[in-house]
Structure 1
Amino acid sequence: MESIRKAYGALKDSTKVGLAKVNSDFKELDIAIVKATNHVECPPKERHVRKIFAAVAISCPRADVGYCIHALSRRLAKTRSWIVAIKTLIVFHRVLREGDPSFREELRHFSRRGNIFQVANFRDDSGPLDGLYAAWECSAWVRTYALYLEERLECFRNIYYDIEADKVPKSAPGESKTNSKPQTLSTEELLEQIPTLQELLHRLVCCQLKEPANFLIQYALALVVKESFKVYCAINDGIINLVDMFFEMPKHDAVRALKIYKKRHDRTLDLAQTFQFPTLRQELQEKKEESEEPKEPSQAENEKKVKEGENGQKTDHLQEEPASQSKEVNPPPASAAELLIFLGLTT
């Protein structure tokens, strides 16, 4: 059954390539899209993705960029294969991350006509996959991934810049440190933009995998995880800026700022638990148990104490040690909040 499904997918791909060669006005672009999002269970090939990048470059007519978005969106809407759906979303994601900034602008305008990532009811019923995820489980992750990309586009629409493209240049020795975008915003801008970034972080955390998945899903997840650091840092920088302005705010703005700060704490815990906490908590718990284990006195020490008891003498080592020599061992943090402070993830 699996071999028949693969053969049928390959036949559909070759048919679409043949039709593109004959009927398409954008022959090269259509062929690149079909080959980049074919039914083969592997990430899109780099040479096909690069052709798509070239088709949406700033030097190309805006009509070409619009056609590329339309072709990818149509490919996503018509497919019933989770492989094709994920590969199409990966192409969208990579062009958003690595392509020309004009593509983001064109995509933002295109999205006003409707939802580009039309996968709300997507489901692949083709069957199990080599003992890993079933096709319907992969379909659920396709929908989650699409929601993240939709939120990413909405975030770009609301804050007017792309988080991934906000690169802070390194300051030369002796020069003042260059601030990131959130560190330069006004109070009103921060109160509007930080909740948008927090919602993006929530969608990002929802992309976590509860059990091992195939390589294609892991590849897509790696793109998401790469962006988690930028999103977290943008939220962190914005909240630090917000805290500096807190006592100068009107009361209603201060209430909004407190809600944002509380939500930031919850989102940070979600992010840490998703990508860091399971391993670290286990390691720290083991260290804590080791530090709490009582040490058994040696035989020589026991004999010495018995002799001292018989003679009624007090030796120096039974007296209280001076405060300067006593050392308290701080156990590793047990709670999630303490662990965040221990790791330096909070300010």
Structure 2
Amino acid sequence: MGSSASKAALGATTNEPTEPEQKHLADLIQYINGTNMSVVHLADVLSEKTGSSSWVVVFKALVTVHHLMVYGNERFIQHLASRSSLFTLHNFLDKSVVEGYAMSAFIRRYSKYLNEKSLAYRLMESDITKIKRGADGVMRTMNTKELLNTLPVIQIQFDALLNFNANADELTNGIIHAAFMLLFKDSLRLFVAYNEGILNLLDKYFDMGKKQCRESLDIYIKFLDRMTKLAQFLKVAEQAGIDPNDIPYLSQAPYSLLEALKQHLASLENKHDILPPYGSDVRWRHPSEMEMTSEMNWQLSNCTCISTIWDPVSVSSISYMKSLQGFYLQSSDHALGVPWFLKVLRGLIKLQASDSEQTDL
């Protein structure tokens, strides 16, 4: 590693309780983006810094590593993912200063997230936050087996991110604030990949066998739980001063969808005593158009919409009432054996496919 890069790595991880200086981070980005520049020694230097007893040095080293993962050449995270172990900070505790107790807890959680981010790269051979998005993106074009293997990996990384669990009043210094900002950026990109994977999974659900349906339903239920936690995380982001226009608005997914997924699995398992099968003559209560549109409105406010759990699209402000009118089904369609919401889903995909673009996060 060049002397300038060594100097930048040391400069980014000083014992001053401020976030790593941008000039040092910029020098490191320039270094690892250089052709054939080895990242091994740089990773070694930063890893060694995490062995310090000072929470300041350790936290700044982790923030620097995360910054390079997000903004640097892929070779950096690729190398980290190849290591047998990355950060072993689950017992880290700085007792030398009062602030060390609180910051040590965040260091333990933050290092776990970076470990999971690296592990996810190893398992997927790509950074989930940087994969191609949209109608022809990675998550939307996976087959069922790939989805069932990949979505749990995303869920684990997402859990580790949300478990950072900082309140706005706990972002008391530049270091933890810098860490939170990087987590916020990752959270949006992870959400898009997660969201698109769930869209693909639901579109395949009614063609799956019993075992795959059971796995898919479990994944979807966990998805709903994580969306509740994500909403709490985004609320902290707004309280921390992030522009509200950069924060997605999330609303609850339709309850009727979850019930229909459960019903389909029950029909495959011949548990007709729970709910009648789709092919029966029973007429279900059909949600009103207002219920559908009010519950199906997840969007990024910066003119990039995440329309429900369904489809990330880049459009100007849209009216879901208008968009859904052409796909709203009468209750008589239930007798056809095809769930109304799946028709709505496929209709929305067809409607918005021409406008679907990768979100710029």
Q: TM-score range by the shorter chain?
A: 0.5 to 0.7
Are 1:212 and 2:170 matched, yes or no?
yes
Are 1:66 and 2:40 matched, yes or no?
yes
In structure 1, runs of 5+ residues without a counterpart are: 1-24, 129-133, 169-176, 281-329
Distance 1:339-1:267 versus aligned 2 partners, 3 A rule: farther
What is the CA–CA distance in structure 2 between the aligned matches of 1:230 and 1:257, rounded to whole Å?
A: 22
Q: CA deviation at 1:223?
A: 0.8
Q: CA deviation at 1:117?
A: 1.4
What is the CA–CA distance in structure 2 between the aligned matches of 1:184 and 1:232, rounded to whole Å?
A: 17
What is the CA–CA distance in structure 1 between the aligned matches of 2:237 and 2:10, rounded to whole Å?
A: 40
Aligned partner (choices 55, 74, 89) of residue 119 of structure 1: 89
Judge conservation of contact 1:58–1:102 (CA < 8 Å) in 2: no
* Deviation string, structure 1 residues 236-277 (Cα, Å, up to 9, x no partner): 111111111112222211111111011111111111133239
- Higher relative contact order at CA 8 Å, sep ≥6: structure 1 or structure 2? 2
CA RMSD of aligned residues (A): 2.7
Q: CA deviation at 1:219?
A: 1.7
Partner residue, 1:84:
57
What is the CA–CA distance in structure 2 between the aligned matches of 1:279 and 1:33, rounded to whole Å?
A: 31
* Deviation string, structure 1 residues 63-82 (Cα, Å, up to 9, x no partner): x31111111111112x1111
Partner residue, 1:252:
211
Partner residue, 1:163:
128
Are 1:32 and 2:8 matched, yes or no?
yes
Counterpart code for 1:268: M
Distance 1:187-1:118 versus aligned 2 partners, 3 A rule: same
Judge conservation of contact 2:154–2:190 (CA < 8 Å) in 1: yes
| 1:38 alignment partner, SS class | coil
Aligned partner (choices 10, 20, 34) of residue 44 of structure 1: 20
Counterpart code for 1:44: P
Q: CA deviation at 1:235?
A: 1.0
Pairs within 5 Å for 1:66-215: 66-77=40-51, 79-109=52-82, 111-112=83-84, 115-128=85-98, 134-168=99-133, 178-210=135-167, 211-214=169-172, 215=174
What is the CA–CA distance in structure 2 between the aligned matches of 1:121 and 1:278, rounded to whole Å?
A: 27
In structure 2, runs of 5+ residues without a counterpart are: 240-287, 299-306, 311-361
| 1:155 alignment partner, SS class | helix
What is the CA–CA distance in structure 2 between the aligned matches of 1:264 and 1:247, rounded to whole Å?
A: 18
Partner residue, 1:271:
230
Q: CA deviation at 1:227?
A: 1.2
Q: CA deviation at 1:97?
A: 0.6
Pairs within 5 Å for 1:276-295: 276=235
| 1:181 alignment partner, SS class | coil
TM-score for both structures, normalised by structure 2: 0.63
What is the CA–CA distance in structure 1 between the aligned matches of 2:190 and 2:231, rounded to whole Å?
A: 13
Q: CA deviation at 1:100?
A: 0.7
Counterpart code for 2:87: F
Greater helix percent: which structure? 1
| 1:125 alignment partner, SS class | coil
Judge conservation of contact 1:32–1:52 (CA < 8 Å) in 2: yes
| Identity rate, percent | 26
What is the CA–CA distance in structure 2 between the aligned matches of 1:340 and 1:201, rounded to whole Å?
A: 23
Judge conservation of contact 2:78–2:121 (CA < 8 Å) in 1: no
Pairs within 5 Å for 1:299-310: none
Are 1:221 and 2:194 matched, yes or no?
no
Distance 1:188-1:39 versus aligned 2 partners, 3 A rule: same
TM-score for both structures, normalised by structure 1: 0.66
What is the CA–CA distance in structure 1 between the aligned matches of 2:297 and 2:40, rounded to whole Å?
A: 49
| 2:202 alignment partner, SS class | helix
What is the CA–CA distance in structure 2 between the aligned matches of 1:279 and 1:92, rounded to whole Å?
A: 25
Distance 1:71-1:262 versus aligned 2 partners, 3 A rule: same
Q: CA deviation at 1:346?
A: 4.1
Q: CA deviation at 1:213?
A: 2.6
| 1:164 alignment partner, SS class | helix
Q: CA deviation at 1:42?
A: 1.3
Judge conservation of contact 2:12–2:25 (CA < 8 Å) in 1: yes
Judge conservation of contact 2:198–2:309 (CA < 8 Å) in 1: no
Q: CA deviation at 1:190?
A: 0.3
| 2:130 alignment partner, SS class | coil
Judge conservation of contact 2:20–2:175 (CA < 8 Å) in 1: no
What is the CA–CA distance in structure 1 between the aligned matches of 2:215 and 2:189, rounded to whole Å?
A: 23
Judge conservation of contact 2:184–2:237 (CA < 8 Å) in 1: no
Question: Larger C-alpha radius of gyration, 1 or 2?
Answer: 1
* Higher mean displacement: 219-228 or 270-279: 270-279
Counterpart code for 1:241: N
Distance 1:278-1:138 versus aligned 2 partners, 3 A rule: closer
